Structures are given as C-alpha cells and as structure tokens.
Structure 1
Amino acid sequence: MLLLQKTILEMIARGDALKSTLQQLCLQLEARFSETICSIVTVDAAGLLHTVAAPSLPSEYVSRIEGIPAGPMAGSCGSAIFHGQSVSVCDIAADPRWAIVRPDALRAGLAACWSYPITDSSGRILGAFALYFREARGPTRAEQEIVEACLDLAVIALERQARVAEREHRATHDQLTGLPNLSAFSALIARLPCDAPGSWGLLAIDVDNLKPVNDTYGHHAGDCLLKIVAQRIKTAVAPDLIFRIGGDEFMVVLRAPLHLGEMESFVESLLDDLGRPAECGGFWITPQASIGGAIVAADDAIPETVRQNADHALYCAKETRRGGFVRYWPGLGSPITERVRQIREIEAALQQGRVEPWYQPIMCLDTGRFVGLEALCRVRTISGSIRPAAAYGLGDSEAGIAYELTRRMLAMVAGDFSSWAGMDGAPDYVAVNVTSADLRIPGLTEELLKILTDQNLAARHLVLDLNETTHLGLREKQTLGAIQQLRASGIRIALDDFGSGLASLSHLMNVPVDMIKLDPSLTNNRGDEGKAEAIISGMLDISKRLGIEVIAEAVETHAQHAWLMSLGCRFAQGYHYSRAIPRTAMGKWLYRQSVASMGEVNARQA
C-alpha cells in the first residue's frame, strides 16, 4: 500500500495529467484484485457524470454513460453521488438503482458494482470511486479497505486538477463578464484557417457609452452595463463565440453559415438587441455600440490580417457611423489603417511594459539649481527606438487608452521620485502631463493619492501639467471641480503652453493654478522681440501679483537664457540646460550631484 501511495503522490507532485494519474491508480488496484474492474468518475456543476479513469471498462460502455445526470437510478456511481454515501449493488440485473444504465452494463458483462463517493475536506462531492464485478457479489472487506485508503489519493489528484483548471480559467476568462478574454481569443484565431475564404469572420464591437456612464453614474453602473452587453451579445451570436478583449471592447468569431452569409442583417439585428434600455444600478441606460466586421478573404495570409481589417472597420464606424456597422472592404482607406495601427501599437506598448518616463530638468535661473523635473512619456517601439507618446495623438475616442497611459506614468514617476527625494540637492517636484479626459475620470484624486501613499511620496512633490488640449475643457464644471479637489489634497497644478491660442489670461480668472508654463512661441519669438518682451513681462507681473510661478519652455541658447533673466523670469527648461533623459540616467546623474553636494558641505565644515 505504501508503494502505491508513493507512486501516485509522485505523479501528482510532477504534475502528470489527471487521467494518467488516476488510470495508474485503477490499474494498481486491479493488479491487486484480479477479479475487479476499477473506475473513477467526476460530477460537474450541472450534476453530470464524467469518466476520468476506467482502463478496463469497455469503451462503448464508457461512452454510453458519459454525461448522464447523477440520481437515485443512475447506477451505483450516480446513486452514491446523489445520496452522498456508498452504494453496493450485488446484482445489476435486478437492482432498481441501475434502471437508467442497466442494458448498457449488462451488454458490457458487468454483474455487480460497489461505489464510494469522493468528497473533499469541505464535504463537497467531487465524484465516485467504483469497483465492478463480473459476478453477482458485493465487495470483500479487503477491497473496501483499500478503496477507502485510496480515496485520499483521488481527492488530492482531483483537487490539484481543480486548482489548475481554476488558474487556467482565470488566465483565459474575464472576471467581470465571465467571457473568454484576449488570451483565449488570440489562441483561437491563431488556429483558424486562412486557406478557406469566407469560412470565418470577426466582429469588433466597442461599447460607445461606457465612459459617459462611468463618469455620470459611477463604475458600478458601468460594470453592470458591460455585463448586460456581454450577455446580450452572447445570446444573439450563439452558437458563435464572444470574447471580451479590453475595457469596452468585444470580439465575436463568426463561423455559423447564416451569420457569415447575411452579415449586414445579422449585425443590424444584434444592434437592435443591444439598444434596448437596461437597468444598471438603479439607472435606466440604453447601451450603444459600434461594430466593424471582416470575413477571411483569399489574400489574407494570416488570421491577424482579418483582425486588423475588423479593427479598421470598427474605427471607421466610430468615426463615421457611431452606433452603426461598417464592413471591411479593401478600399476603406489608408488613413484609417494607419490610425488603427498606431492605436494598436500603443496598446501593445502598455501591455508589454514599453512605456517609460524620461525627465527634463527645470532650472532656477537665479541660483543655477534645478528645482523640478518634467516627466515626459516615451514609448519604446518593438524595434527599440524611442517615440514620444504625444506623437500618437490620442483623442477623445481613445480616452481609455490615454488615461491608462497617464495612470501608468504617474505610478512610475512617483516611484522614481520617491527614491530620489532623499538625495542631497534633489529637485522639489516632478510634473506630469494630464488631459481633460483624465480630469473627468471619477475618483482621480483618490487614485493619485493612493499612488503617492504607496510610494511614500508627499502630494506637494507632484505637479500636474494641463496641456493645451485640456484648456478647451477648463470651463467645464466637472473639470474645475477635479482641479479644486486635486489642489485641496496638496497636488499642484500648472497650465502648459500658456500664451498660445488655447491658453489665455482668462483662465487665470477661472482656474485655480500654481504655475504657468510659457508657450515656446513666446520664448523663440526673437524676430519680434519687443512684442514678446512686452507679453512676457506682463505675464510675469500678473503672475507675481497672483502668487503664480512662471516657467519659460524651450530655452535652447545662452542668449535666450540671458534675455529671460533680464526680464525677471526665474525658472526655465529646455535643451540649453538638458534634453530629456531616461529614468536610469537621471537617477545616476542625481546620485553624482548628491555625492558632489555632500563633498562640498564636508569641505566647508572642515
């Protein structure tokens, strides 16, 4: 018995397949009791039986009993699971508990069966362990004892398999909706054939009003909306499969001939089903979605091409027929193709951790000390080149991606600055760009403060730069409320590109800010220095009266530096002082500065 236990436990520890492990357990018992046939079945959440191991049972019998419901007349195993206790049937031909499967058992030459339920430590029934006999009899005492001793081995093997299955399920399924996720979708389409044009297709679906619902009613309502949308799509597209591949994105793999042959009418019907009002957290909301579709064509060499085509069609639907459907065709347009490519590129960079902050110092012109840093978001492309995130031009239609980019940047910047703050001569603050879409995210302040708390960084060290696209939304009540809440928490606010067409003096009347950054056009306007000097001097005077710091941007020459100093500008940044440099390089530079500063202090004390 000890050798049997050692063999099975070693198989479990190695991670051998459940079927081979339990098959070995059955074979070991059959070798010990030559007149018996051993089997192990499991029961699923629906109460259906599945044979896991039965090395000596006829395959025809095993297939006939597969999936039958556990119950009082479903044989010894079905009855043992149903009642939660051992069941001994000495004569299958006469016992009513074999009513459902008796003919199959008798054809297989089985005369009797004893079954014992397999239960875990909580008492939940996992399945049943059975001994079949070719003659009408019950189990011997020795047979009962060894089966009872082997039950724990079966439980360990089944529980391990359940944990593995749960991990696999979590890895391939979305927790909120229960749908298969991006990983499962990618695995499936990678195996779809491209040599059979028209045999399958994709629908790319975007929930258009998820963000407004989140912003207006809260994320609980948004989650409710997603679950309703997921269920409606799942019902409408059956037997085809739906996947949730992103926050508000779903993919449907079409293989049903009717859906492929009549795609336009099928999708219109799907949109009608989606558009019915739904109750979400006490609010009545009408789901809205845009859909792009593509079917595998003769010139599609790989499945990813079909996905890209569906994405292109979706993007076109969102731009030209929001709330409607666009089917891909080769002339859909290269600008859309390029736009979708860029969006997918930055999504991939986020997923693969290829987004990183680079830092540019902000100098105090009076002392020559750099007092702050601006964190600039950079994307490391697959080829290894560095690209500014601003080059992707994320707009309102990509607000979710833009906020994830901001959130990721804030977490990395807070971590970097926290590690530098204790160095001698470290800068006072770090500035991070945010957009108006970021400011409309509910709970932004709380999330920022949590990031700072997690990194043990005081709020006064963080400055949020409101870039030029944000200026258009500065009169929105929600945006102003977010700014006031952020400042009340100790986080400072800077208006970027001040003096441009979008950022004007009127903002100083309405928007509570701590800093303004002069638009580069003012710093570089040397052709009409008199006007630029008058404007900058006026801004410096007004800002001084309002207690607002002024920072000149894009200072590239010593002449610009000297000119700004003569006007009384105290702070500046630009290539004249330093280009933006990677986080590791900035950390090393700060360390060298700290060591040098400490050396000077020690020299003076000596």
Structure 2
Amino acid sequence: MVGVQGAEQVKKRVRAVLTAPHLAAFLPAIMIMAFWNGGENLMVLVAILFPGLLAIGGALTRPKPTRGVANDEITGLPRRPKLLEQLDRGFASDADFEKSCFVLEIDDIQKLSAQLGEESIRQVLRTIADRVKATLRETDLMCALNTGRFGISIDKRQRADLEATLQLAARLQAAVSEPISVDQTRVLLSSCVGFALPSRSPEATGEALLAAAESALGVAVLAGPGSIRAFSNGMAARVGRSEHNRDELSRALDAGEIRPWFQPQVSVKTGRVSGCEALVRWQHPTMGLIAPGAFLPAISKAGLMERLGEVVLFGALSALQDWDRQGLEIPAVAINISAEELNNPNLSEKIKWELDRFDMRPNRLVVEILENVIAQTEDDVARHNINALADLGCKIDLDDFGTGNASIASIARFNVHRIKIDRSFVTHIDTDTDQQNMISAILTIADQLDVGTVAEGVETHGEHTKLVALGCDHAQGYSIAKPMPAQTFLDWVKAHEPKLLSSEAVPRLA
C-alpha cells in the first residue's frame, strides 16, 4: 500500500513538471542545441519527438479515475464522500498542499426549480457546474452536495491571505452570474459562498472543514443573496441534510450513545500528561461514529444542551474515578460549558452535587468557557455561575483565546486559571514569524497576569518544538493524540509514560 502511494506521489510530481506552463520556454533552446549538434535533420527529429514524449508522459501520469463512487446524476460531479476524502488528504502529514473548502449555493434554488421546471433546472445546474469547474485548477475538486449546492476543495499553494481568498470566492460567483439561455429564456442567477481555511477548521478532519464552510454559507445566506462569508470560531458547525430530530437525540443521550471522548494535554517541557479534555462523540448504532459538527447544532436547536452537559459531566467524572482506581494519575479533566448552561441559576449547585457524588476534589475539574461567551457575559446569572465555580475550587479555562473580544480585565474578573490559545495562532508557528510574534505576545500577557497557557490544535512536531522554545505551558492536538474513548485513553497513557526519558526530558510524542 505504501509503495502504491509512493508511486502515485511520483506520478503527481512528474505530471506537475510536464504540465507546467514554463516548460514550453525550453523548446526553442532545445531546437537550437539540436541544430548545432546534428544539423537540420536532428532538429526536425527533435521537433517531432519532443511533443510526442510530453504527450506520452502526460498520459502515463494521468490520475486514475476513482471507482466505486456514484456521481451526481444531473451534473456528473462526484458527491460528498469524494470531497471529504480530498479535504482529509490536505491534513495528512505528507500532503503536498493544505486544502481550503468552499461551499457555493445558488440563491433561491427551490423557487427557481418551481419556475423553470425539472428539465430546465437540470440544464441550469449542468451549465453552472461546467462554468465553475472551468475556473478551477486540475488539482482542485468540485462536488455536488445537494440540489444547487456545490462543495469545492482548493489547493492552498501559497500563504493566501483573506483578500486573495475573497477574490477567488468572487470569481466563483462571477461564473454563476453569467446569463444562461434556457428554452429561449434568459436566466440570471446569483449565489452565496461560505469558505473555511484549514487553519480555522475546528478539527484537523475533512468533515470538520466542510462543516465549517457550510456554517459560513449559512451565515452568508442569512445576510442576503450574493453574500460571501468566511468561517470564524464563533460560528456553530452547520447541520447537514440528515438533521436529527429531538426524539432521536434524547434517546441517544439516554442510551449512552452520545458520550465524552478524551484528548490528552501534556506539559510541553516534560511531556507528562497534565490533564485531558472531554469532547463529545456519538456512536450511532447504524451510522457509526458521528462527529460533533453533525449533531451539536441539532442538540442546541432541540433545547438539549443542558442535558448534554449533564451527560458529559457524568461521563468525565466517571472516567476520572475509574482511572484513579486503576492507579492512573490524571490531574484534571476539562469540560466545556455552553452559554445555555451558564444561564441556568442552578449550574454551580449541580456541578457541586456531582463532585460530591463522585467524591472528587473540585480542583480536578476544569471548566472551559469560550472567550466570546465571556466577552458577551453581562448577565448576572452567568457571571454568578462562573465566579461560584471558581470559588468552589474548579479551574476556569478561557477557550479559543484570541478569536473573541474578551478584555484583559475579563481574565482577572472571572479568576481565569489558564487561557487556551486558539489553533489559528498555532498553525505554522514553526515557520511563520508573524505567528511566532503573536504567540509570544499572548504568552507575555499570560505571564504578566500569572495565568497558565494551553496551545490547542498542535498538529506537527515542529509546532510543538517551537512552543517549547517560546515558553508555552501545555499543548493539545493531533500531534500528541486524537480524542479517544475512556478505556483507549487509559491504554494510551500507560503506553505514553514509559516513553519519557525523565520528567524533565522533551517528549517523544506518540
């Protein structure tokens, strides 16, 4: 399997060379050299052979068509699974390029379908698909997500800034807006675009990146026809077509299908496990593992966020208690508290009751609150809950630091224990001086306020090493370990600890 992948990588690189526009610039020089060395006959021979060799090379290195993936019957485009596969590839450690995700939707597609009729709308969709695809590079991918909605994976070949990405989104919209003639009728269309950059993805997965782009699209649609929006951390991941209803979600919560998984946090200096974060996952009996972006918005819409919080808290404390019994030293477990939970006047009492129930010291429970929630918290109930939990002895982590509008005064006002540095600041910190300067500034603020720091979304060993040099306290991310069930987490920690040469050694990450 590795050999096949290696061969494909070689083919891809050879094809990139053969199809590069500047290759044609060498042809005149080759012809002159042929004439000098062999006269007119050799020059004619080279003129015949050179284009032929290029054609043969291009044919031999052409990517093989994907089998077994049913394409959209109207446009002929691949469907969602192919897009997820491509986006996932961008997060691989050996990927040539990262992937940005765009989701484009024709405005008022349902109304347009009713006006034009089935056959005409099919013609419109085929035309749009052909036009948009023509604006893309050969290595980019366009897929059909739903009627009138398209997902696009773009190779992020350079450190494209927001302006360049917006220009690309505008070009996609321009391809849609060109008039289309259908049965002697001139049809004018507009479209909305949502996009997500890999550095902004909630998780390093294609599913999370696509969910983020669909979330941005949802905001764009609300803003009005022809809008473009980028994903930001304050947006909730958008629910896809298979939205789950309240009864199904309630059953899953009661049956234990929705439960916390655990992602380790380690000291960047010693590599020892300093805690973990409880991240919710849904093990569906027929659909398999469902990522949070595909069901959390539905839970919020159904008014079940507090019930979910109870499930996660119970699961987190149960796991911590079980690890204690087996002699595993996990200092603390972190849970996320939603805005809905903070507005419950009984929240602090509920958490205190659960801690007493498990005979757990409060300082072993870390409560993570999003920075934008704290920034918008003027409600007396929410403020009371945060301060009551801190007074109880629970540790308060300020999540996604740097993406919201929380002031430095808020950190002191809410007795914040640590700040979690958002993944967007950590990405490429080992190679980007601007990122390094930003992290250094955040670490300086934290040091002056005497609060700890956790860098989340650490995806590479280079990023981890740079965080050590800059003086960050803790790290969390896929370069250390992915979220995992409680028993798997237990096994991972038991295997991880012996790898450390000493408590002062730089970690050998798993």
- Tell me the TM-score normalised to structure 2 length: 0.47
User: RCO greater where, 1 or 2, for CA within 8 Å and sep 6 or more?
Assistant: 2
- TM-score (ref. length: structure 1): 0.40
Say which one has the larger Rg. 1
